[in-house]
Structure formats: structure tokens, C-alpha cells
Amino acid sequence: MPTFIKFNLEQQSIELPGTRTAGATGHYRHSAFQDGLIDHIREAPHVKTLYDMFENSVKKYGKKEFLGHRPYNRVTKKHDGYVWQTFEQIHKRVNDFGSGLMHLNQAILGHSQLNRWSLGIWSTNRPEWSISEISCNYNNLVSVPLYDTLGPDAVEYVINHAEIQMVVCSSNHIATLLQNSAKLPSLRAIISMDSLRDDPAMAIPGASSAPALLRAWGAEKGIKVYDFLEMEALGAAHPRKPSPPREEEVASLCYTSGTTGQPKGAQLTHKNFIAAVSTNVESIVLGPNDTMISFLPLAHIMGRYLDSLSMYAGSRIGYFRGDILTLLDDVVELKPTFFPAVPRLLNKIYAKLVAATIEAPGLVGALARKAVAAKMANLEAGKGIHHPLWDRLLFNKVKMALGGNVQVIVTGSAPIAKEVLNFLRIAFGCVVLEGYGSTESMGTAMLTLPEEFIPGHVGAPRCGCDVKLVDVPEMNYTSNDKPFPRGEICLRGPHIFTGYFKDEEKTKEALDSENWLHTGDIGFVDNRGCFTIIDRKKNIFKLAQGEYVAPEKIENVLSARCNLVAQLFVHGESLESTLVAIAIPEPETFVPFATAITGGSTSDVAVLCKDPKVIDAFLKELEKAGKAGSLRGFEFVKKVHLSMDMFSIDNGLLTPTLKVRRPQVKDHFADQIKVMYDDLRACTPAAKL
């Protein structure tokens, strides 16, 4: 089970003396590491690269289970339980697969560049994803994750921009790559994670098999097509010694998908990865008895950072089946101790638990309300998250929803409501951490402490990161604000990326001359040295009365506090004085809410979305959420349009990292936005004169 190192809750970070400059706070640093930032794993100083890290783990934990997955059973037509491979078994596969890659590159494709070339990896989380990445680390190659949900245009851009010669992918992406091969001049080989061997049980007399057709199609395009096991066999027949990287060399190009423009390739070095892992070793210690569920996309830095933590600790990593809708079934099967998540998933879990406990009818609801009140009182008094009576009667059963063994839940990527955080703490009787980071900071910059019982902030800087706040005068945020300094959050430390690949202009925008990363997020730091995110510098606009609005902040506040919302888009214009919104209701909570208003005449969501009474009631719920989130008057939404037209990657309204593409959503709902503003103008006193 994870263990935690205790720090001073009342002074979590300090402002280093003599570091203040005009227009900025001083440098804030973790109070226990005032003398210097941690940039390496102090208990294992020989671990300088990801190659060193895996070698270290194989030596320490060789015969222990490492990577697990649930194979599909064609007889039962269901997924079996988890099947595991040990550190030693994965080590052999890494050496074989890596040798196969190198032999293919040099002897078959005839390339003269032996190292530092880019390998694309394109699939959902699975053992072959990690084997591919570790093989890169063993042969001084650069891994380039391709988002599993990227559209063809973005995949084409990344492959060409990173000059990728080989792509390792799940079989469902092979056809896409071959179909677009004319636009991918650097691509010479595709390696399928799934078997391309013919299955006699699926054979049709006289017909060519699908694998054979794929290989023939590839030959026609001048692209070699192999499967994973073939590449391992090739490597076993032509073994090569590892070619370890240096710590300052780039380990991965992690492309960040913006809401506009092409993705940017963040250059992350081996030193960046090791520095990020070292921050965790100094505070939360995972061990060989821990198990983590891996479902946060490995194409995003947070998923890979967490996998690296588990690898170093000798922990088991169990991959989900690839379907987020069946994730909790995988969690129950795996029984993890460590559960990384994102706010949207936790909000769904929260909504289900609330419905089954404190909102339940009769005696169950009455007992649950009493139990929650008792545990909340203990938590707010700093007495912890356990209760001898109520845990035994109620919450030990609740814990089984996550398998029963979860000790740590960690969340990030977007804000989460205070009430959700605290409810999850007392419901699951475990540590719930909220963190802050980005691709450019290796996904880790700040984190709450395990014993923290005050929600609503993202904690203090980690032991390898300095933080300062820089004035944003156009938004009235300054380092001299009272009661607390406010400004743009800037980060510096050994985990910060080295720049964007082939993009000096964007690099200079992100990193200043002193190597401070300007995040674009606005925050304040309180008297305990804890930081709270309050706004966003980018995507701001000005209303007619001159007030600046950051719509993402408002969306986060409302979505976190209103469980009727699945997706939300807040919009304003410089010629209008008010905000409007497009809301996609969450069917599970919206239907009972709306039918209670309409008297149960229908449960058709599309019909309910058009009912004026339902729309008015929904708007009032958003108003309640806005008040609970302390929004200012001009930040309240005055009109809402309810739609079942979900924002998705397929329709171009979401980025692959599930961020809203604001210009595209505005255009998509242009008619509805116009109608809302016409209605608002018709209701103003001036319009009636």
C-alpha cells in the first residue's frame, strides 16, 4: 500500500527571500526543500534515464508481475480476468522488439541513421504500447505518441512534422495509414500490435484473408507491414545490444493539441522524466504491493508519467479494455490501490453514489445522510476520513465500487468541486489528491498533501518546481493584490520541457529568457503557501461594459457544481453585456430532473430539452452553481440552449485531449446563439420603449 511522507500543513510553501521583482511575486518553493530543487531520485542516483529506470526495476523486481491486460475470449465472447507478465518477461520482449526495430531500420529499410529517429505509437493503453516506448529508451529512439482519437489530418501532420518512419499501432489504424500513405512520404513501415496471422477458424474458402490483403496493400504502397510478434521474432534472430541515451537527450515528442492551429511537439528529455518521478518519490511512495489502473491515455503525458512512477516502484499496471464505458468493471476486477482519474469521471461516480446514499428514499437515505454528516464533521475538524461505526455499516460497501482496495485517488486536468472532493474522501475512506501540471511541465507542478482536509486548491509546488505569479494588468490581477497575491502562474525546474520541436516562435512564447514556463493560468497563493487556479489568460474576451471574461473558468465552475451538465459552452460578445450558454444535459440526472418538472408526460430527452419550463429550471440550477462557485455578476449565464448534439472529436467540436474547440462550437451553434441574444434584447427595458 502507498505510504506518505508528512509535511507542514500550515506552511506548505514559502516565498524565497530576495526573489521578488517588479510585476511579480518572489519564487515559491516547497517548504521542506528550501535549500534547492530535487532533480534526481536521491535513493537511486544512478538512475539518470528511462533506460536506467527500467534496468533498475528489472534487477529489483524481476519475477514480479508488471503489466496486465484482460484478453478477449472468443468462446465466451467476454473478456477474461487479468493476465500478467513479469518485469523479466517484459524485459526480454523489449530487447527482442527493440532489436527487431533496429534490424528493420538498417538491414531491411536500408536507413543509415541508427539512433535518434522517431517511432510513432498509436493505440489505446495496452502492454504493447509500453513495450514500444521502453524499446525506444533502450535504443536511443524518440517515441512519438499519436492520439488514438486524432483525426487523419492531425495524424498526417504529426507523422510528417516528426519525420516518422515507422508506426506501431493497433490493427484498426492500419487501413487509415495506408489510405493516406501518399501524404506520408517518410512512412516506410507499420507494425500491428494485433496479430496478422491468418486464423483458420475465420477463413473463407477461395477468399483472401484480411491480414493478407493488408500486407498486399502495404506492398503496393511501398510500406512494409508486420505484426508485433513477427518483430519480436526478427529481433530474437538478430539480437543487438542496447544503445542507452544520455539524460539530456529527448525521450519523447509529446504533441499538444490546441483548440486552434496545429499540434505542437513538446520536447521531453530523459532528465525531465526522471526529475518528475523524483518529486513523487519524495512525498508519496508506491511499492511492489501496489496496483494501478491505467486508462488515462498514454498519448498524454499524465498517463505516461504515472506509468513511469509505477515502473520505478515495482508496482503492477493493469490496463483497461479500451472502453471507458466498462472502466469500472475493469476496476472491480483489478482491485487497484492507486486510481488516477479525471474530474468528469469522478463527477459521474459522485452522482451515482449520492443517488444511492444520501438521496435514497426511506431508511437507507436517512442513515446515509446521518453517516455522511458525521464523517464530514470529522473531516472538517481535521480528524481524518475514517469512522469506526459508519465505515462498518455503510462505507465499506461503497468502497467495493472501486474494487475495495483503493488507497489513493489522484485527479487533475480540470478543477473539481470542493463538495465532490470531500464526499469521495469520506465515501471511499482514502486519500484524494488534486494536482496541477501540463505537458510542458511533465504533468506535475503542484499537488495537495495526503492529509489535507481543506479543498479548493491544488496544493504547493512539488519539490522539483519553483512557482511565481506574474501581473496580468489587463485582467486586474497583480502580485500586490489583497488579501493574497494574484497573477499568471509561471513554473521553473528540471522537469520543464526544453521547447517545441521545430517551432522557435512558440517556444519563446512559452519559455522566457530565464526558463520560466508561462502557463496562461491565473492563480493566487494563500498564507499557507497553497495555490488556487481562478482564471485563464487565454481565450478571454471583453463584454460590452468592458469586463473581461474567461469562459473556461466559468464552464469549469458550473460543470463541477451542477450534475445536470455533461458538456457546457459559455459564450459572450464584445457588443453584448451578458453571457449565454450551450448545455448538453447528462441524461442520467437530467431525465428525472426534467420529468419531475413536466409531471412525467415524457422521458424523451430531445423533447424535454425544448420544454420552456425545463429550460428555465435548468438555468436556475446553473445560477445556483454560479453562486456556489462565487462567480461575479457579469459571469452568470442569462440564457441557455439545451441540446443533445454532443461535442465530440468526430464532429470537430473537441480536441483529442477533450478540450472545446471554441470557434468551431460557436459556428456550429451560431443560429441558437443568435436566437438567445435576440430574446435577451427583446426583454430589456430599452427594447420595449
Could you tell me the residue ranges of all domains in the chain? 13-30+313-536, 64-194+222-245, 541-688
Residue pLDDT, tens place only, 433-476: 999 999 999 999 999 999 888 888 999 999 999 999 999 987 78
Where are the strands (E) in 509-636, listed by range? Answer: 517-525, 531-536, 541-542, 548-549, 565-571, 579-585
pLDDT at residue 282, as a whole number: 93
Q: Whole-angstrom Cα distance, residue 329 to residue 516?
A: 43
Amino acid (one-letter) located at 479:
S
Task: Report the share of the chain in percent with pLDDT over 90.
Answer: 74
3-state SS assignment for residue 174: helix
* Bridge partner residues of 283 (DSSP): none
3-state SS assignment for residue 621: helix
Helical (H) or strand (E) element with 86: strand 83-86
* Residue in 663, 643, 640, 505 with CA at minimum distance from that of residue 581: 640
Give yes or no for a contact between 674 and 639, defined as CB atoms under 8 angstroms apart.
no
3-state SS assignment for residue 611: coil
pLDDT at residue 632, as a whole number: 84
Give yes or no for a contact between 156 and 183, defined as CB atoms under 8 angstroms apart.
yes
Q: For the packed helices 343-356 and 587-598, what is the interaxial angle rounded to 10 degrees? A: 50
Q: In the CATH scheme, what architecture does the domain 541-688 have?
A: 2-Layer Sandwich (3.30)
Residue 134 burial (CB count, 10 A): 24
CATH code 3.30.230.10 for 13-30+313-536: no
Q: Please give the C-alpha separations between residue 481 and each of 22, 23, 104, 467, 571, in angstroms, as whole numbers.
A: 14, 11, 60, 17, 28
Give yes or no for a contact between 576 and 546, defined as CB atoms under 8 angstroms apart.
no
Give yes or no for a contact between 539 and 662, defined as CB atoms under 8 angstroms apart.
yes
- The answer to whether the 13-30+313-536 and 64-194+222-245 domains have the same CATH topology is yes
pLDDT at residue 319, as a whole number: 98
**CA 602: distance to chain centroid?**
37
Residue 393 burial (CB count, 10 A): 13
Amino acid (one-letter) located at 435:
G
Name residues of the chain where pLDDT drops below 70: 148-152, 198-209, 257-261, 546, 656-657, 684-689
∠ Cα 90 412 437 (to 5°) = 85
64-194+222-245 folds as Rossmann fold (3.40.50)
Give yes or no for a contact between 191 and 235, defined as CB atoms under 8 angstroms apart.
no
Give yes or no for a contact between 370 and 34, defined as CB atoms under 8 angstroms apart.
no
Q: Whole-angstrom Cα distance, residue 542 to residue 15?
A: 33
The residue written with cell numbers 468493471 in the block is 329
Q: Please give the C-alpha separations between residue 105 and each of 131, 190, 235, 253, 315, in angstroms, as whole numbers.
A: 18, 12, 12, 20, 33
Q: Please give the C-alpha separations between residue 244 and each of 138, 210, 240, 248, in angstroms, as whole numbers.
A: 5, 38, 12, 12
Q: Whole-angstrom Cα distance, residue 456 to residue 67?
A: 35
pLDDT at residue 151, as a whole number: 60
Where are the strands (E) in 124-275, listed by range? Answer: 142-145, 166-169, 189-192, 224-227, 250-256, 264-269
pLDDT at residue 603, as a whole number: 84
* Bridge partner residues of 460 (DSSP): 447
